[in-house]
A and B are shown apart, each in its own frame.
Chain A
Amino acid sequence: MAKVTMTVNGKEHSGEAEGRTLLVDFIRGELGLTGTHVGCDTSQCGACVVHVNGESVKSCSVFAQACDGATVATIEGMQNDDGTLGVLQAAFQEHHGLQCGFCTPGMVMSASELLKVNASPTEEEIREGLKGNICRCTGYHNIVKAVQSAAATMAGAAQAAE
């Protein structure tokens, strides 16, 4: 057991973790942030994607101790300060990009990273960018639409700001 400290969604958290404790189990169990999900045990499904030091990471594939001192963002930190849905989240709702909701947190975190790297992705680039996240409900059609829509909204907002 070792004490692990990380800044999660802007707040510092500390907890105990064994050497073998995965980041996802630390986030869910020790920090009680259950929005990050576990959908597989072979790091295919992407339900556990979070951002570690600004980059998207499958939190089932890193140890909690390896993230000591890191800055972590999870789905719980994606909404606006007033509690309303962020642009990407709102686009998922508007375009019915989720059904059971289980893959959704990972999907949103991956899509957020995708749009940071590529502000106006093509449909093909979105599909390629999300191939590390499995959704069993939607067939991805509406997820792709949601990400396209969010990209357009963000571009419009950026243009207006200029």
Chain B
Amino acid sequence: MPKDGGIGASVVRREDTRFLKGKGRYTDDMNRPGQTYAYILRSSLAHATLNNIDTAAASAAPGVIRVFTGADITAAELGGVPCGWQITDKHGEPMKEPAHPILAVGKVRHVGDPIAVVVAETYDEARDAAELIDIDMTDLAAVVDMRTAETSGNQVHEEAPDNVCYDWELGDKEGTDAAFANAHHVTTLEFINNRLVANPMEPRCAIGEYDENDDNYTLYTTSQNPHVIRLLMGAFVLSIPEHKLRVYAPDVGGGFGSKIYHYAEEAFVTWASKEIRRPIKWTADRSEAFISDAHGRDHVTKAELALDAEGKFLGLRADTYANMGAYLSTFAPCVPTWLHATLLAGQYTTPMVHARVRAMFTNTVPVDAYRGAGRPEATYLLERIINKAAQEMGLDQAEIRRRNFIRTFPYDTPVALQYDTGDYDATLNAVMETADYAGFEARRAESASRGKLRGIGLSCYIEACGIAPSALVGALGARAGLYEAATIRVNPTGSVSVMTGAHSHGQGHETTFAQVVSDALGIPADQIDIIHGDTDKIPFGMGTYGSRSLAVGGSAIVKAVDKVVAKGKKIAAHLLEAAESDIIFEDGQYKVAGTDKAKAFAEVSLAAYVPHNYPIDEIEPGLEETAFYDPKNFTYPAGSYLCEVEVDPETGKVEIVAMTASDDFGNIVNPMIVEGQVHGGLAQGIGQALLENCAYDEHGQLVSGSFMDYAMPLAVDLPNFVVETVEGTPCTHNPLGVKGCGEAGAIGSPPALINAVVDAIKGYGIDHIDMPATPLNVWTAIQNASAKQAAE
């Protein structure tokens, strides 16, 4: 049983109080003395030459302080927006990495590319003045479809011939070809993974402030990783050393990946605040977010699965086009490669896997990681083609998976990962029992009696989280380490301030991290404060993404706590006149083993700050410790999801009857928060599978550019979820035994849902439908298949 408020307890969240009272501190809630406002004039064309920008009228408009264009950026010799990951292609050449100026220079390359910024006394004045800017552009043919980008004859960047960023491969090609040559059956599936927009409810916002007294800059920004922004912006764009630059990301209203990246607006407001000697605030409206936040997914793949007569997987081939958009966003190159192809073994013993990935430049918004980042694409590929193979071979969808499960650990996959632990039968058994898989045919018959087509779909996912061992990712092209840092500051009277490099933007770290520290130090959680988001307060940090906060950030906290306790033992030994080796620490007490002599945690803390009776020759006063934790391996959360749908053949409408998730996240600190994370992931996965689609027309115009056109899941669109975690297999290499839970729902649910839809309509001879399975798409598939059946 969990201790009150410690690890394992569903403690309600402390941060909720301020959010529920309307007292959250989001970036746009802040205003700085003398603040000005920036409005960004963005390209309305996808691809055009910039001939002339006439800002004279705008500059003279009421309230305008200054108008900036790419010429100012060039004159100031600012760096471009950097990319944090370099992929080496299959010929050993580095990827093509064209410049990404803060404001467009010479050319615009996507709708939304920033052309000019008006800074004025009020936001309305800035926006009014922007209408007076006269831009002379020559429209160029846009590269939109990545499948034809290579042969379109149009160039997004001169440096990237045929619009190829890289052509990359992973796995044993010859071995995989041989496996296919010996196959009893080969299943082929061509499909898209639809482009999505992350759309956290808080639009991005940035305030730059220059202090000429100290020559210091402060950037207030909506970021998932303020230290990363400080590093990228300071070192590569503005040449501001770290000690002169503070990046503060206060309460952030959701991220889902889209707030990881360093964006041009952050660099602009920081730099320009010195130019005009006043703070500058920029806040995106939603329409602007659609054309300036990095998008997600957007793959086109041909996959092939080779099987023997019993349904054992012999080999898998995947050939993927991945859309990079017009420029390389911070982590974009690693998403379809090291976060995607490496997951293609899934939960299965497939001995041979080969993946080829071509990353393409197009005249669209940059694409980068979105909740799951590569792993949803890998899971969708695998779990869809397995169901198609099962359908073709007449095997049950659960049985074919069982015949291929990995059951011995550690397990080295053919695609560069080593799974440390797992129990895939446990989650599959659990989900089949909870969702009553055995009783499905009776439910299908009942639906049929009402004219509805019922289907059931399974998906068994694995993901690699806890990103990541620095040496490993360095070898794979990362331009940063991916450890995490924490400081435990024990205050003189025994309360504790925890500084963590992880960043909470909905995950509830202020509550869960306090549970971890409370458990370790044996002090009440209300004596513990969690501080995050401010580079001036926190030693360092790589931030929150990839379900890494507890696995990596939590481990850094545990390491720092261990150091505090180790020092506390030395102090206690002195106070208790005992040998240090006889001191044990438990339940908030330093005890002499085998005696009733003890000192409370707070007594030892006070002694450290009032060192009258203290081993001063041996140790320093004070009680504050910092630790950096670099993971030894990824963590591997895994699970099984079952989705049951009813399709109305008359309208094509898909109704989710049940969505059941069974996950193995290893140890769990706060079950309530973990469930909530899975709920949110499920909602985004269901959104991808049923509703959401980021669509461009052939001219590169974004067709789905607002909440009127882009279908965000609403309360009426989603079912109640059944979410359970099994008695897990704890991670073997981090001190908490945790694996991460933030992305699972978004990874496991899309293939489960599409598998269910295909199961429902397979009677028409349909074996695949692309996402999103909107009523129109499903109805059209049924009509086409019916016409084909009638003709035969």
CB-CB nearest in chain B for A40: B286
Docked CA distance A37–B25 (Å): 11
| Interface residues in A132-154 (C-beta closer than 8 Å to B) | 133-144
In the bound assembly, the distance between CA atoms of A136 and B200 in angstroms comes to 6
| Nearest B residue to A39, CB-CB | B201
Task: Tell me which residues across on chain B come within 8 A of A138, comparing CB atoms.
Answer: 676, 679-680, 683
User: Which of A33, A92, A99, A102 has the most chain B CB atoms closer than 10 A to its own CB?
Assistant: A99
Q: Tell me the nearest residue of chain B to A123, going by C-beta.
A: B720
8 Å CB interface, A1-50 against B: 18, 20, 28, 33-42, 44-45, 47
Number of interface residues of B (CB under 8 A): 54
B residues within 8 A CB of A105? 19, 22
Within 8 A of B (CB), among A84-103: 85, 89, 92-94, 96, 98-103
Are A144 and B19 interface neighbours, CB within 8 A? no
B715 to A99, Cβ gap below 8 A?
A: no
Q: How far is the CA of A45 from the CA of B708 in the complex (A)?
A: 10
B714 lies within 8 A of A139 (CB): no
How far does the Cβ of A104 sit from chain B's closest Cβ, in whole Å?
Answer: 5
Alpha-carbon distance between A73 and B672 when the two chains are bound, in angstroms:
31
Residue of A nearest to B23 (CB): A35
- The verdict on B74 contacting chain A, using a C-beta distance below 8 Å, is no
B497 to chain A, nearest CB (A): 22
Q: How far in angstroms is the closest Cβ of chain A from B631?
A: 25
Is B199 located at the chain interface by the 8 A CB criterion?
A: yes
Q: Is B784 an interface residue (CB 8 A)?
A: no
Closest to A127 in B: B715
Quick check: is A128 within 8 A (CB to CB) of the other chain? yes
Say which residue of A41, A79, A131, A144 sits within 8 Å of B720 (CB atoms): A144
- A139–B682 touching, CB < 8 Å: yes
The CA-CA distance from A34 to B253 in the complex, in Å, is: 13
Distance (whole angstroms) from the CB of B178 to the closest CB of chain A: 45
Q: Is there an interface contact between B19 and A98, defined as CB atoms closer than 8 Å?
A: yes
Contact check, B707 vs A45: say whether CB atoms are below 8 A apart: yes
Q: In the complex, are the beta carbons of B200 and A102 less than 8 A apart?
A: yes
A92 to B20 alpha-carbon distance, docked (Å): 8
What secondary structure prevails in chain A residues at the interface with B? loop
Which chain A residue shows the least CB distance to B18?
A101
B495-554 interface with A by 8 A CB criterion:
505-508
Within 8 Å CB of B252, what residues of A?
A: 100
Inter-chain contact A102/B706, CB cutoff 8 Å: no
Q: Could you say which residues of chain A place their CB within 8 Å of the CB of B684?
A: 136
CB B744 to nearest CB in A, in angstroms, measures 13
Contact of A101 among B19, B256, B706, B720 (CB under 8 A): B19
Residue of chain B at shortest CB distance from A77 = B22
In the complex, A64 has a CB within 8 A of chain B: no
Q: Which of A28, A75, A142 makes the CB contact (< 8 A) with B679?
A: A142
B202: chain A residues within 8 A (beta carbon): 37, 39, 100, 102
* Contact B254–A139 (Cβ < 8 Å): no
In angstroms, Cα B679 to Cα A128, docked, is 19
Query: Within the assembled complex, what's the spacing in Å between the Cα atoms of A138 and B200?
Result: 12
A57 within 8 A of B: no
Residue of A nearest to B707 (CB): A44
Which residues, 180 to 222 on B, are CB-close (under 8 Å) to A?
199-203
Interface membership of A72, Cβ < 8 A: no
Closest to B21 in A: A79
Tell me whether A56 is interfacial, beta carbon within 8 Å.
no
A133 CA to B707 CA, complexed, in Å: 12
In the complex, how many angstroms separate the beta carbon of A51 from the nearest chain B beta carbon?
13
Report Cα–Cα, A133/B714, bound state, in Å.
Answer: 7
| B16 is an interface residue with CB less than 8 A from chain A | yes
Interface residues of B in 1-31 (CB under 8 A from A): 12-13, 15-24, 26, 28-29
Is B170's CB within 8 Å of the partner chain A?
no
Q: Is A59 an interface residue (CB 8 A)?
A: no
In the assembled complex, the Cα of A18 lies from the Cα of B22 at a distance in Å of 25
List A contacts of B24 (CB < 8 A). Answer: 35, 101-102
Measured in the bound complex, the distance between the Cα atoms of B506 and A139 in whole Å is 13
CB-CB < 8 A to A74: which residues of B? 22
Q: Kindly report which residue of chain A lies nearest to residue B16, judged by CB atoms.
A: A93
Instruction: Report Cα–Cα, A17/B481, bound state, in Å.
Output: 50
* Interchain CB contact (< 8 A) of A141 among B199, B201, B720: B720
Q: Are B20 and A41 neighbours in the complex by a CB distance under 8 Å?
A: no
Q: Cβ of B199 and Cβ of A34 under 8 Å apart?
A: no
B656 to chain A, nearest CB (A): 12
Q: List 28 A-B contacts (CB under 8 A).
A: A28-B29, A35-B22, A38-B28, A39-B203, A40-B707, A41-B285, A41-B287, A47-B201, A75-B21, A76-B21, A76-B22, A89-B20, A89-B21, A93-B16, A93-B20, A94-B12, A96-B13, A101-B253, A102-B26, A103-B201, A104-B19, A123-B720, A134-B201, A137-B254, A137-B506, A139-B680, A140-B714, A141-B720
A-B pairs, top 3 by smallest CB distance, nearest first, are: A35-B22, A102-B253, A101-B19
